[in-house]
Chain A
Amino acid sequence: MLEGRALTDAVSRAGLIRAGLIAAGLCGAGLALAGASSPLRSPLVLLFLCTAPLLGVYGLLRGIDPGARVIAACAAMLVINAGVAETMLAAGLWSPRGGLVAIMAISAMLGLIQLPAVRALARR
C-alpha cells in the first residue's frame, strides 16, 4: 500500500496521464469535427473514441481491482461506440460528426457524475 506522499504522487501521476489522454483525444475529435485531413487525425480520434468513454466508466467502478476494471470499462466503451453508430443507422440519421458529438456528451456526463461535488450532492 502506498502511503502519504507516495500516494499523492501516484494519484497526481494518474490524474496527469488521464488529463493528457483526454487532451490528446479532444484534439483528435476537433480535427475530425473540422474535417481536417492531417495524418494525426486518425490515431488521435481513435484515441478519443477509446479513452473518453473508457475513462468515464472506469471512474465509476471504484473499488474493483484494476485488471477487471479495465476490461469492464473496455466492454462499456465498445458498447457505447457501437450503440451510437447503430442508433444513427437505425434512425436514418447517419451523421458521423453527430455521433462524435454524442460520444463527447456521453463521456462528459459520465465524467460529471464522478466529480466530488456531484457525488456529495447525490449522497445528500
Chain B
Amino acid sequence: MLGAIAVAGVVLFLVPLGGVNLGQLNGFGLISVLPVLSLLGVAAAVIAFSVSLCLPRAYPVVLGVALAGIVICLDAVTVFTETDPRFPTAYQISGFTEYVSRTGHVAPGLDAYFSWPGFFAAVAFLQHVTGNHDLIPVLRWWPVTIDLACLAPLYLIMRSIRASWRAKWLAAFLFEVGNWVGQDYFSPQSFNYLLYLTFVAMLLTWFGLRPGITEIPGIPGLLWQWLWRWRWRTPLDVLEPGEIEPRQVSGAQRALLLSIVLGIFVFSTTSHQLTPFVMIAACLGLVIVRRCTITGLPVLQAVIVAGWVSFAAVAFWSGHLSALFGDLGNFGGNLTSSVADRVTGTAQHQHVLELRSAFAAAVLLMAAAGVLRRRRWVTDDRVLIALVGMPFLAFATQSYGGEIALRVYLFALPGAAVLAAFLFFPATREDGRGRLWRAIPVSICGVALLLAFFVARYGNETFERTPPGEVAAFDYLYARDYGGIRLVWLSPEPVGDNTPQMPWEYQDVEKIEFLPELAPRDPGDLADLIATLRAQGPRSYLITTTTQESYLVQEAGYEAGWGTKFRALMAAAPGVQVLYANANAEIYALGFPAGTQVHPFPLSTASSPAGTIWTPIGLAVLIVLLLVLTTREYVRVCLGAPRRIIRMLTVTSLPLLAALIVVVIMRFIVVS
C-alpha cells in the first residue's frame, strides 16, 4: 500500500506539470510556478518513503520504487516543464563534443576544456558508432540518469559500512535531495562525480578495512585519541569498526580490481581538472585512517596527475601560471570569494543564495549530529568522517572561479549523507522492531529538505532555462557562420564573466568568437555598443536573449524590464538592422558599405608551446617512475606486500620522483 501511495504521489507530481507557465517565473525560480498539487504529490511520496523506513522489516521494492520516483521528481522536473534542455554550459560541452566528433581532433588553443578531452572523446565515439549526432535528448535526460546511476556506487559504499538498512536507505534519500548543487548537467564533472563515487566504493569494498590495524598515525591519530579518550571518555580498544571486513578475493582478481581502479583514475585525470585531486584527497584520507591497503596509491595518483597536467595540458597553463597558482594556500580568500562575493542582485535572488548556504550548512550539521549520536553504539566511523573532511582541503588550493565551495560540498555529500542518516537511525544492527513514530521527524526533515531543494536547485531558473526560440536564434547564426563570425553579448562584468546565459557554442565552436561587452545600465545608452560593433567590422553581430536579460536583472541588479526597453531602443538605433527576432532572442548587426574589409578571423585551434629538451627527458622519467610505482602497488596488493621488494621499489622511486619534480618545475618555467 505504501508503494501505491508513493507511485500515486509521483504521478500526482508529474500530471499537472503540463500546465506550468514559465513566463511567470520570479526570483525564486521554478518553485514559484510549480503547481501546489505537484508539491503535495512529491511530499506524499517522501512521507510514504519515511513510513516504509520505520516498518518492522525492509521492503526493498517499495523503498526502491519510492526513491526512484522521488529522484525523477527532483531531477527530471525540467524535462516535463521545459521544451529545451536547461543550463548554458551543457550546450557548450555538447559543442565541444561536436567539434571532436566532426574533426577527430581537439582544439586546446580554443578552450581550456580541450586539455582534458576524455569525456568528449567517449561521447563522440558513441555518436559515431550509433550514427546519432543529436545530443539534445541526451542533454535533457542526462541529469536524472546520472543521479540515478550514482545510487549504484553509493550502495556499494554503504555495503561496507556497519549500519542498519534504515540508515542506508535514508542516506540514499539524503544524498539525492542534498545534491542541489546542479553539477549533474551534461558535462565531464557530472560523469566524473559518478567515477569518484565508484572509485571510493571500490577502495572501500575490496581494499578497505584490515583486521587488527586500528591506530591512526601522526597528528590525526592524536586528535582521534583526544576525542575518544578525553572528550567522550571511551577507550579506543572497545570501539567497533564502523566498516565491515572486505570479502576475500584471489590475488589475480585483486590485480584486476586494482587495474579497474587505476583505469577509473586515469580516465578522470584525462577528462576533468578538479576530480582527480579530490580522488587523491579521498584516497589519502583513507590511507591516513588506515582503511586503505593500497598505501602507495596517493603517490602514484599524484604522479599521474602531474604527468598529465605538465605534458598534456600545456596549452592550458602556458601563459596562465598566475591563474593556476595564484590562489594556492589562500584558504580564507578562496572561501570568501566562493561564498560571500557571490551574493549580489535582487532580494529574491539573494534569498536563494542564502538558502543554498543554509542548506549546505544544515546537511553538514546533521552529519556532525549523526557522529555524536553514533557514540552510544561505540562505533568508529573514521571512514565517513575522512570522506567528509578531505574535500575541504580543496579550499586551500584553488578558488576555481569562485565555485570551489559548491564543489567541496558536492564531494563531501556522500559521507555527510550517511552520517546525517545516523542522526535518525544510528543503530549498527537491526532488532526487527518497527517504531512508526520515528517516521514523524524523518518525514518533516524530508519534506523540508525537498522544498528547499526546489529553491536551491532551480532558484536561478529565470536565466538557467532555455526558452523556446533561443536555440533557433543560434541555428540562424550557425547557418551563416562560414568563414567565421563575431558575436557580441551583453555582460554585467565583461572581464570576469565568460559564460553567457544562452544555449551557446553547441555547434561550430571554432567559427564563432564570443565577445562579452558591458551591458549599459541605462538601456538607452547604446553609443559604446554601436562603436564596438563598428570597430569589429562586417560579420559581427550582437545577440540578446530573455535569459541573459533576466540574469542582468536578477544577478546584477539592473532595472526591471531592462530587456524590453533595450530591444526597443536598439532596434530603433540608427544604422542598426534587426537580422533575427523572436519572443526570446534578437540579433542585431550594423550595415556596412559593400566591400568593407572583414577583419581576419583570429581563432586558433591549436597551441604550439615552445619545444624544449625537458620534454623528452621528462617523459622518460615519468614513464619509468610510473612503471616502478605501479609495480609496487600490484606487488603490494597481489603478493601479500613482501617487505623487501616493496622497500626496493620505494628506494628506486625516490630519485625518479625528485627528478620528475625538477622536470615539472623546469617545464613550468621554460614553456610558460
Contacts and interface: CB of A to CB of B under 8 A. Distances in A.
Contacts of B610: none
B42 interface: no
A55 interface: no
A86 B129 contact: no
Contact of B104 (A49, A67, A72, A89): A89
B143 to A, nearest CB: 18
A46 B122 CA distance: 13
Contacts of A96: 125, 128-129
Contacts of B250: 63
Interface stretch (B253-261, B444-452, B500-508, B622-630): B253-261
A105 interface: no
Interface string B102-138: 0011100000000001100110111011111000000
Given A64-B247, A75-B202, A79-B267, A85 B156 contact: no
A60 B100 CA distance: 34
A65 interface: yes
Interface in A70-98: 71-72, 74-76, 78-86, 88-89, 92, 94, 96-97
Given A45-B130, A68-B156, A100-B129, A85 B253 contact: no
A52 interface: no
B544 interface: no
A72 B156 CA distance: 10
A85 B153 CA distance: 24
B202 A72 contact: yes
A72 B132 CA distance: 28
A71 B156 contact: yes
B201 A71 contact: yes
B547 interface: no
A82 B256 contact: no
A54 to B, nearest CB: 12
Interface string B471-509: 000000000000000000000000000000000000000
B263 A76 contact: yes
Interface string B381-411: 0000000000000000000000000000000
A57 B263 CA distance: 14
A123 B469 CA distance: 65
Given A64-B247, A79-B263, A46 B121 contact: no
Nearest to B257: A72
> Main secondary structure on chain B at its contact with chain A?
helix
A57 B256 contact: yes
B100 A83 contact: no
Contacts of B128: 96
Contact of A86 (B121, B198, B253): B121
B205 interface: yes
A74 B100 CA distance: 25
Contact of B260 (A65, A67, A76, A92): A76
B156 to A, nearest CB: 5
A64 B156 CA distance: 13
A99 interface: yes
B260 A79 contact: yes
Interface residues of A, number: 39
B129 A45 contact: yes
A14 interface: no
A82 B130 contact: no
Interface in B230-281: 247, 249-250, 253, 256-257, 260, 263-264, 266-267, 270-271
B307 to A, nearest CB: 13
Contact of B129 (A32, A75, A92): A32
A94 B104 contact: yes
Interface residues on B, range: 35 or more
B159 A82 contact: no
B152 interface: yes
A86 B270 contact: yes
A61 interface: yes
Interface core residue of B131, B132, B202, B250 (most chain A CB under 10 Å): B131
B331 interface: no
Nearest to A41: B131
B256 A61 contact: yes
Contacts of A57: 256, 260
Contacts of A80: 263
Nearest to B100: A89
Contacts of A65: 247
B125 A81 contact: yes
B187 to A, nearest CB: 15
Contact of B267 (A35, A61, A82, A89): A82
Contact of B249 (A64, A82, A100): A64
B155 interface: yes
A20 to B, nearest CB: 21
Given A86-B122, A94-B104, A99-B129, A72 B260 contact: yes
Nearest to A42: B130
A72 to B, nearest CB: 6
A107 to B, nearest CB: 14
A79 B131 CA distance: 22
Contacts of B267: 78-79, 82-83, 86
A86 B130 contact: no
B122 A81 contact: yes
Contacts of B130: 32, 41-42, 45-46
A75 B121 contact: no
A89 B106 contact: yes
Given A71-B152, A92-B105, A49 B263 contact: no
Contacts of A94: 104-105
A86 B205 contact: no
Given A32-B129, A42-B132, A89-B121, 15 more contacts: A45-B130, A46-B126, A46-B130, A62-B253, A63-B253, A72-B202, A74-B152, A78-B195, A81-B126, A82-B118, A86-B118, A86-B122, A89-B105, A89-B117, A96-B128
20 contacts: A32-B130, A57-B260, A63-B250, A67-B155, A68-B156, A71-B152, A71-B153, A71-B155, A71-B156, A72-B202, A74-B152, A76-B260, A78-B264, A79-B260, A79-B264, A80-B263, A82-B122, A84-B125, A96-B125, A97-B129
Interface of A: 32, 35, 37, 41-42, 45-46, 49, 57, 60-65, 67-68, 71-72, 74-76, 78-86, 88-89, 92, 94, 96-97, 99-100
Interface of B: 100, 104-106, 117-118, 121-122, 124-126, 128-132, 152-153, 155-156, 159, 195, 198, 201-202, 205, 247, 249-250, 253, 256-257, 260, 263-264, 266-267, 270-271
Give the top 9 A-B pairs by smallest Cβ distance, nearest first.
Answer: A94-B104, A96-B128, A79-B263, A85-B125, A42-B130, A85-B121, A89-B121, A82-B122, A86-B121
